[in-house]
Amino acid sequence: MANSIKVLNDKCVGCGQCAGACPFGAISMVERPEHPKKFKLAVIDLNKCTYCGTCFQTCKFNSIEIKKDAPQAGVDKSEYKGVWVYAEQRHGEIAGVVYELLNEGKRLSKQLGTTLSAVLIGDNIKSKAQDLISRGADKVYVCDDPIFIEFQDDTYTSILTQLIKKEKPEIILMGATNIGRSFASRVAARIHTGLTADCTSLEIDLETRNLQQTRPAFGGNIMATILTTAHRPQMCTVRHKVFKEAKVEEGRKGEIVDCKIDVATLVNRTKFLGFIKDESSNVNIGDADIIVAGGRGLGKSDGFKLLKDLAELLGGAVGASRAAVDSEWIPYSHQIGQTGKTVAPKVYIACGISGQIQHTVGMNSSDIIIAINKDASCPMMQTATYALEGDLYEIIPNIIKEIKSIRCN
């Protein structure tokens, strides 16, 4: 990554091509002091520059000089202590994945003989710190300021980066949510460490204190275990519903640290316009106890009307495989699997889903799996708790009829 950039005044001809090419609006053209109103000079605003190198590649006159950091040989790992969980929140509500990470973080911190901390960023959010302590956090860092009222990559990345550099945690766990995926990589790049995304298992090598981060790879066909051996902290994102939630311990004590925030250091290149809530589903599949999911075997979009009737009757939600979403039979918000959501309902009813690993990695933690499929040899039928072989368009209406009959009686 670059650490310095400048315009060589004696080579700049004032053509303005670099200013037009900069994707961040960090370059402006100004009058030269020695030739006012006659010649222009490019000036780089370092508060906006991301050192992406676009201007350097565009300039035909070699008038921009960019220097890069020398490769790091590693860090003094003994300086880094503690397990951190990023306590994601939106509009004052803590994300469910946070409580799962606190549960796993508590296990990891015990193995390492260290403390478990949570980082809470938001506006008027300090009141939520005790919720995190009651779920296992020994310490909560609270970054409370109106600038954090809505999530924006720049401000959240800056404050978390500053805190990490100051406190030096050994491990940082974040949810693989839209927010977590959006800025975890930015933080990792700023602190020069690795990031493993979408982890499904975490273990500690006690001899090296390395975090063994396991995740699906090569389209979900294998499980890869990744290590960050030379750098710290070790960072990863974890999918929702992979781990069990930490239980509430009433009256548990912990430390709350109010972080001092210098707003002037938080450069923000975006403007928040508004928040539009997804109203496409009455039940969030990530929180549903019962899910009725459909795949390519439905054969048509109308098949989801049948699944919706069954889901509503059971008080559940409708899910889908990627094949059904790619066929535009149902919106992406219903997709379950490696490229969708991870779920762990009490009952998962798979209708016309073959059960490829890309899908099962998102639902294999379900307590009971019921598969309905014509192909008795497909993976889903082989792994299901109960397998119903036959035409789903015959089986499901009979199930609906039977449930209604029982309720009427």
How big is the CA angle at 258 (ends 256 and 261), to the nearest 5 degrees? Answer: 155
As given in the structure block, the two tokens for residue 318 are 């409708």
For residues 18 and 28, what is the distance between their CA atoms, to the nearest angstrom? 9
- pLDDT > 90? residue 390: yes
Distances (CA, A) of 69 to 2, 13, 45, 66: 6, 28, 20, 10
Q: Which of 67-71, 81-85, 228-232 has the lowest mean pLDDT?
A: 67-71
- pLDDT > 80? residue 387: yes
Q: Which of 67-71, 178-182, 273-277, 364-368 has the lowest mean pLDDT?
A: 67-71
Residue 90's DSSP bridge partners are 93
Q: How confident is the model at residue 275 (pLDDT cuts 50, 70, 90)?
A: confident
- pLDDT > 80? residue 58: yes
Residue 377 CB contacts under 8 Å (≥ 6 apart), including other chains: none
343: three-class secondary structure by DSSP: coil
Residue 167: per-residue pLDDT: 95
For residues 58 and 18, what is the distance between their CA atoms, to the nearest angstrom? 6
Answer yes or no: are the C-beta atoms of 336 and 357 closer than 8 Å. Answer: no
pLDDT mean over 214-220: 76
Answer yes or no: are the C-beta atoms of 211 and 171 closer than 8 Å. Answer: yes
Q: How confident is the model at residue 239 (pLDDT cuts 50, 70, 90)?
A: confident
What percentage of the chain has pLDDT greater than the value 70?
94
Residue 279: per-residue pLDDT: 63
Q: Which of 105-114, 203-212, 254-263, 279-288 has the lowest mean pLDDT?
A: 279-288
Residue 95: per-residue pLDDT: 92
Residue type, 155: T
Nearest to 135 by CA among 93, 178, 101, 161: 101
Q: How confident is the model at residue 406 (pLDDT cuts 50, 70, 90)?
A: confident
Residue 338: per-residue pLDDT: 81
For residues 392 and 360, what is the distance between their CA atoms, to the nearest angstrom? 20
N- to C-terminal Cα separation, the chain: 70
For residues 62 and 12, what is the distance between their CA atoms, to the nearest angstrom? 8
pTM: 0.69
Distances (CA, A) of 391 to 312, 356, 388, 396, 398: 21, 20, 9, 9, 11
For residues 239 and 201, what is the distance between their CA atoms, to the nearest angstrom? 10
**Based on C-alpha coordinates, what's the Rg of the chain?**
26
For residues 257 and 250, what is the distance between their CA atoms, to the nearest angstrom? 20
| 120-148 pLDDT tens trace | 999 999 999 999 999 999 999 999 999 99
For residues 99 and 235, what is the distance between their CA atoms, to the nearest angstrom? 18
Higher pLDDT, 161 or 282: 161
As given in the structure block, the two tokens for residue 267 are 């450069």
Q: How confident is the model at residue 273 (pLDDT cuts 50, 70, 90)?
A: confident
- pLDDT > 60? residue 70: no
Nearest to 180 by CA among 86, 277, 82, 287: 86
pLDDT mean over 233-246: 92
pLDDT mean over 305-330: 94
